[in-house]
Amino acid sequence: AQSVTQLDSQVPVFEEAPVELRCNYSSSVSVYLFWYVQYPNQGLQLLLKYLSGSTLVKGINGFEAEFNKSQTSFHLRKPSVHISDTAEYFCAVSQRGGYQKVTFGTGTKLQVIP
Partner 1 sequence: KAGVTQTPRYLIKTRGQQVTLSCSPISGHRSVSWYQQTPGQGLQFLFEYFSETQRNKGNFPGRFSGRQFSNSRSEMNVSTLELGDSALYLCASSLGSSGSTDTQYFGPGTRLTVL
Nearer to partner 1, 68 or 106 (CB): 106
Question: Taking the complex as a whole, how short is the minimal distance between the CB of residue 49 and partner 1, in angstroms?
Answer: 7
Beta strands in 6-107 (DSSP E): 10-14, 19-21, 24-27, 31-38, 44-50, 56-58, 64-68, 73-78, 87-95, 103-104
Nearer to partner 1, 67 or 107 (CB): 107
Partners of 26 in the β-ladder? 3
In the complex, which residues of this chain contact partner 1 (CB under 8 A)?
A: 32, 36, 41-46, 49, 51, 90, 94-107
What whole-number distance in Å separates Cα of residue 58 and Cα of residue 45?
15
Question: Taking the complex as a whole, how short is the minimal distance between the CB of residue 72 and partner 1, in angstroms?
Answer: 18
Nearer to partner 1, 15 or 104 (CB): 104
